[in-house]
């Protein structure tokens, strides 16, 4: 049975994707900042991403802190949503990866392959 909380979550996700679609060429970068993420270095990753966005004077990028993303063993996790609502999830991100993420993914449109969550999960890389 679907609960009211389930419906609220569905509505929230739908509104989030709809708002992104309205902002052409807009990106939302989400950094998981639950206890597991912070312990793994998410705060430093967040700060590095903010620094890179400011350095490049990007106006079409929003960086947001969220709670648990659900893959504690692969933290810090960074999710990027484009204006079409497509999500790319990076894991085990380090502050020094911020420049690559901004330059390759945001500015040039290429995925940073070695940081992809799906690759780490397939390889069983949970250390």
What the chain holds in terms of domains, given with CATH numbers, is 26-123 (3.40.30.10)
pLDDT of amino acid 64: 94
Q: Record the pTM.
A: 0.78
**Residue 27: φ, ψ to 5°:** -125, 140
**What is the reported pLDDT for 92?**
95
Q: Which residue has the tokens 């929003």?
A: 62
Q: Tokens 């990866």 identify what position?
A: 97
Instruction: Encode the chain (127 residues) as per-residue pLDDT tens digits.
Output: 777 776 676 666 655 555 545 556 789 999 999 999 999 999 999 999 999 999 999 999 999 999 988 888 899 999 999 988 899 999 999 999 999 999 999 999 999 999 998 776 665 655 5
Q: What is the pLDDT of residue 55?
A: 94
Q: What is residue 50's predicted lDDT score, i.e. its pLDDT? A: 97
Is 54 buried (19+), middle (13-18) or exposed (0-12) by CB count in 10 A? Answer: exposed
Contact 74, 81 (CB under 8 A): no
Q: What is the pLDDT of residue 22?
A: 53
What sign does the CA torsion over 88, 93, 97, 98 have?
Answer: positive
């Amino acid at each position: 049975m679907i609960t009211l909380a389930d419906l609220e979550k569905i509505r929230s996700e739908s509104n989030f994707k709809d708002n992104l679609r309205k902002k052409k060429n807009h990106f939302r970068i989400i950094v998981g900042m639950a206890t597991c993420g912070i312990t793994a270095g998410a705060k430093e990753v967040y700060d590095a991403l903010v620094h890179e966005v400011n350095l490049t004077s990007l106006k079409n990028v929003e960086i947001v802190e969220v709670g648990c993303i659900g893959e504690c063993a692969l933290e810090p996790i960074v999710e990027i949503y484009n204006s079409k609502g497509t999500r790319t999830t990076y894991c085990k991100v380090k502050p020094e990866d911020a420049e690559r993420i901004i330059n390759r993914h945001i500015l040039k449109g290429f995925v940073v392959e070695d940081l992809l969550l799906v690759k780490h999960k397939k390889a069983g890389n949970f250390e």
